[in-house]
Structure 1
Amino acid sequence: MYPSFRVLRKNFEALVSSKSLSGYDVSGLLEKLQSTPDDYQKLFQLGQEIEQRPLRESWKYVEPNALDLILQQSSFVSSAPVPALLASDVFHRARAGFLSSVVGCVLGKPVEVHLDSKSLINALEKSNQFPIQGYISKTIVENGGLDFLHKDAPVSFAENLRNVPPDDDINYTLVGLVLLEKFGPDFAQSDLAAIWRDSLPLGFTWGPERLFLSRYAMEMGLDDNPQIEVAGFADSLNPGSELCGALIRSHIYGYASPGDPLQAASLAWRDATMTHRGNGVYGSMYLASAIAIAFVEKNPEAIFRRALEFIPQKSRLHEAIAYAIDSVMNSPTWESAYELIHGRYGDFGHCKIFQEIGTVVNSVCFAGSISEGLKIQLYQGNDTDSFGSAAGAILGVYFGEGNLEESWISPFQDKLHSALAGFHDLSLDSVAWRVGKVATLGLDVD
């Protein structure tokens, strides 16, 4: 069984673009692709050539994949003792992180259509929804607002909300929750892969995650319980290896590591390297460690600067986040900070982490509350559900459960719908409770 030539060519085109952004010499490869006939052997040889191209001599970044090398290239020196934590506080902060991430996801879901801040705010203004007061109304398409919406918009409009609608961002947190409940922090990638195999529908995955499941299925063949080594799946023909897919899976590792960013980053690395490489892995480590730090750090700037200690100092992501933090700290408003971040990294839009992590820094640092932070994140556009969810995870842990208004939660009527096979817990409150329990493993809950 082989993919069609159309699929192969599209994959190769994306791979060449990805390799170029990652510093590799791709000169002449697109021309070779165009001149290569529809022949599997010849296309296989071209794929090998794409993967074997060297880095450009002028490339200044150092971006390893092994965890020990990542930490060697970072400013991390040694792990400080995890501070003494009150279990009940950890429990409720983790719950708040999860619930706020759900709210941020659903809030952004209708308008996940690659908009920048100006375009999105303009549409909200034309439909009399700016400043936003709750979930987005279906009137967003009226009065010259938006003429296109995300395909899942109808189930997440304010008028239609009766539950948390299925979403990949939420799916992955649930997958991670099941993983940690079953195996704890010593899980293996094979454990995670088996849960993916048995739980994740292919149609609810994108990019590297879909590629992973497709490869896994090919390796399975007709074997019901194969022993498959998945560690190398992400090494080749993986054009989305630096997109945000690993980052959106990392929330649970932050919740499960209160005050311990090294553990959070390490768990996120183990998950992320199943599908991603380079900066795609670093983004996952960064968000997980930021969530872990938010349990104990009272200064938002310090959350993001401390999390940066786990990212290679000569990587593109370190450069982008450092620029974002400096821009936010030197700006009087989130709007002016956004203009700086977008001005430099605007080409990295939907799913591309270099700009999007900067917008999360912006949202959290200018937020006086969970609600305000979620609204700022929405206003910055791009991947509005994934990074609304990411911002919500940090905001919820930082501000705590009592600071998330019930008006954001009540429309769901305590109903959580997921797309996962075998996940039968349909109570949002129950799942939030389970997240809190995972966060307090090893602690005595009061």
Structure 2
Amino acid sequence: MIARRGEPMFVPIVILRKHLTQIINEKTEQGHVTDGLADELAALPDSYDAVYAFAKRVANLPLRADWPYVEPSEFDEIVAELDPTRPLGKLGTVSDREARVETAFMASVCGCVLGKPLEINPTLADVRKALEAIGEWPMKAYVSEKIAPHLPRAMHHSWRETTREHITYVASDDDINYTVLGMLNLEQHGIGFTKKQLKNLWLGQLPISTTFGPERTTLLKAGLDTYHGTADEATMREWVTTFTPREEFCGALIRADAYGYACAGEPALAAELAWRDASFTHRRTGIYGTMFIAAAIAAAFTQPKDPLDIFRTALKFVPQRSRLCHILNGCLEDIESSRDWLTAYEKIHAKHFKWDHCRVFQELGTVMNTLRFAEGITDGICKQVSQGNDTDSYGATCGSILGAYFGPAKRRELDAWLKPFNDDLRTTLAQFYERSLVAVAKRMTQLPALVDKQQAEGVKQVAEQKARDAGAGL
């Protein structure tokens, strides 16, 4: 529609139809009964009332009778589906906690920048062929601009800031934005943060042009709500279920890192905070992947002898009858039975190649593969990015896990990777003025102590209330 002066602006119906088409396809993947819906959508009149009523129906479709998975999105229902043997408290004492958080964050930044020029949904074969053409396989450093003619598609537009020849600062990226935003959320609101507080934080600091998929859709809805400010928790749940395609993509997963840092050694709390953030924009696998990564980062701080134990623990915080749990257990078996990371990748890719850029399933399999065979932090982020798909996001995510796991013992590896940044961190967050990467890393290291303090205060308040109840004879 063409808006004239004085007329309200609406999302064009053609865009809503496009969103609904994608949602119907996703509902089919999720096991819902979608027969005939595409034709019904095509026959709908160009009426906002008709399209909205149809969207509400699509949001509440029944599951097929033969669908074998159970995939809730509400927290209590998710908890009922988790592994009953999951650890509910701290896994143990975390040595060098602050140093490990610093290493995790720095490794995440390096992994993100390493992957950014290749964020074109490549396969490992694509990356390997291009690097071999310039004599740089296996990957051991930031990507050179010389790789460009040998890739199947043009390099990501950020290459002028993120290829080896041009890096002089940490280029802005949504993965880094969200890690910093998670830090700000915990600094300002603590572990009891609400969706309303998260909404207001996003409105104040997250430019909509730097968001994608459900994040952009949610911000748009939140922005419209500022005209009347009536959105409660129920309304915000409806934002997720209506006109929000890609609810199972990785846009929430890349927001998990700060919660993993803050809950070092305590995966249960990390997963709970991750749910609260992820469910603001995502459902089902989009939530589970976020809980899985937050729990994995938290578990990595305990340095298990077998790095795959990180993920065995994290999988206990994923609904046990979900597609994600089923697929990742299969990936674990493939990794365990493989002699090297390339063999394991081929097994994972052969089974799950259709789940490519941002689709979570295959990519989380490659993250586990990386940890199994990584010889250190920088070797790990190189292996992760070499496996393709969403290279910057999973380079960042894997960097967090690698840094938490290997910790200060391998921190020196990162010095050469951090030097080109000149301690200059560039985000696109509004009202965030800190440009020193070192200073932001220092703030990240304070998150676990913040959680400790709030937990201690909570225990004290419970004890005081019990004493008052006892004194009152309750």
Q: TM-score if structure 1 supplies the norm length?
A: 0.95
Matches within 5 A, 1:129-168: 129-142=136-149, 144-168=150-174
The code of the aligned residue for 1:360 comes to V
Q: CA deviation at 1:83?
A: 4.8
Aligned twin of 2:175:
169
Deviation sequence 1:132-172 (CA, Å, 0-9, x none): 23111111113x34441212222111111111000000000
Larger Rg: 2
Aligned twin of 1:117:
124
Q: Distance in 2 between matches of 1:365 and 1:209?
A: 32
Q: Distance in 2 between matches of 1:227 and 1:54?
A: 27
Aligned twin of 1:5:
13
CA 1:62–1:226 in 2, change beyond 3 Å: closer, same or farther? closer
The code of the aligned residue for 1:253 comes to Y
Give 5+ residue unaligned stretches, structure 1: none
Q: How many residues align?
A: 440
Q: CA deviation at 1:81?
A: 4.4
Identity %: 38
CA 1:86–1:350 in 2, change beyond 3 Å: closer, same or farther? closer
SS at match of 1:400: helix
Deviation sequence 1:170-191 (CA, Å, 0-9, x none): 0000001011111211111111
Q: Is 1:192 the equivalent of 2:201? A: no
Aligned twin of 1:335:
342
Q: Is 1:103 the equivalent of 2:110? A: yes
Q: CA deviation at 1:228?
A: 4.8
Q: Out of 2, 24, 27, which is 1:19 matched to? A: 27
Q: Out of 221, 226, 229, which is 1:220 matched to? A: 226
Do the aligned residues in 1 keep the contact of 2:127 with 2:386 (CA within 8 Å)? yes
CA 1:108–1:238 in 2, change beyond 3 Å: closer, same or farther? same
Aligned twin of 2:268:
262
Give 5+ residue unaligned stretches, structure 2: 1-8, 454-474
Deviation sequence 1:300-339 (CA, Å, 0-9, x none): 1111101111111110000111111111111001111111
The code of the aligned residue for 1:301 comes to L
CA 1:232–1:147 in 2, change beyond 3 Å: closer, same or farther? closer
SS at match of 2:263: coil
Q: CA deviation at 1:402?
A: 4.1
Q: Out of 350, 356, 360, which is 1:353 matched to? A: 360
Q: Distance in 1 between matches of 2:151 and 2:246?
A: 31
CA 1:213–1:78 in 2, change beyond 3 Å: closer, same or farther? same
Do the aligned residues in 1 keep the contact of 2:267 with 2:296 (CA within 8 Å)? yes
Aligned twin of 1:417:
426
Q: Is 1:62 the equivalent of 2:80? A: no
Deviation sequence 1:368-415 (CA, Å, 0-9, x none): 101111111011100000011111010000001341321111110100
For structure 1, which segment, 132-141 or 435-444, has the greater mean C-alpha deviation from structure 2 after superposition? 435-444
Q: Distance in 2 between matches of 1:407 and 1:79?
A: 37
Q: Distance in 1 between matches of 2:164 and 2:366?
A: 24
Aligned twin of 1:204:
210
Q: Is 1:439 the equivalent of 2:445? A: no
Q: Distance in 2 between matches of 1:443 and 1:190?
A: 24
SS at match of 2:244: coil
Q: TM-score if structure 2 supplies the norm length?
A: 0.89
CA 1:326–1:158 in 2, change beyond 3 Å: closer, same or farther? same
SS at match of 2:165: helix
Do the aligned residues in 2 keep the contact of 1:126 with 1:145 (CA within 8 Å)? no
Do the aligned residues in 2 keep the contact of 1:90 with 1:440 (CA within 8 Å)? no
Do the aligned residues in 2 keep the contact of 1:242 with 1:278 (CA within 8 Å)? yes
CA 1:5–1:235 in 2, change beyond 3 Å: closer, same or farther? closer
Q: Distance in 1 between matches of 2:62 and 2:167?
A: 51
Aligned twin of 2:325:
318
Aligned twin of 2:83:
75
Deviation sequence 1:271-328 (CA, Å, 0-9, x none): 1110111111000000000010111132211111011111111100001111111111
For structure 1, which segment, 150-159 or 68-77, has the greater mean C-alpha deviation from structure 2 after superposition? 68-77
For structure 1, which segment, 34-43 or 67-76, has the greater mean C-alpha deviation from structure 2 after superposition? 34-43
Do the aligned residues in 1 keep the contact of 2:104 with 2:403 (CA within 8 Å)? yes
CA 1:80–1:276 in 2, change beyond 3 Å: closer, same or farther? closer
Do the aligned residues in 2 keep the contact of 1:328 with 1:337 (CA within 8 Å)? yes
Q: Distance in 1 between matches of 2:129 and 2:94?
A: 45
Do the aligned residues in 2 keep the contact of 1:246 with 1:271 (CA within 8 Å)? yes
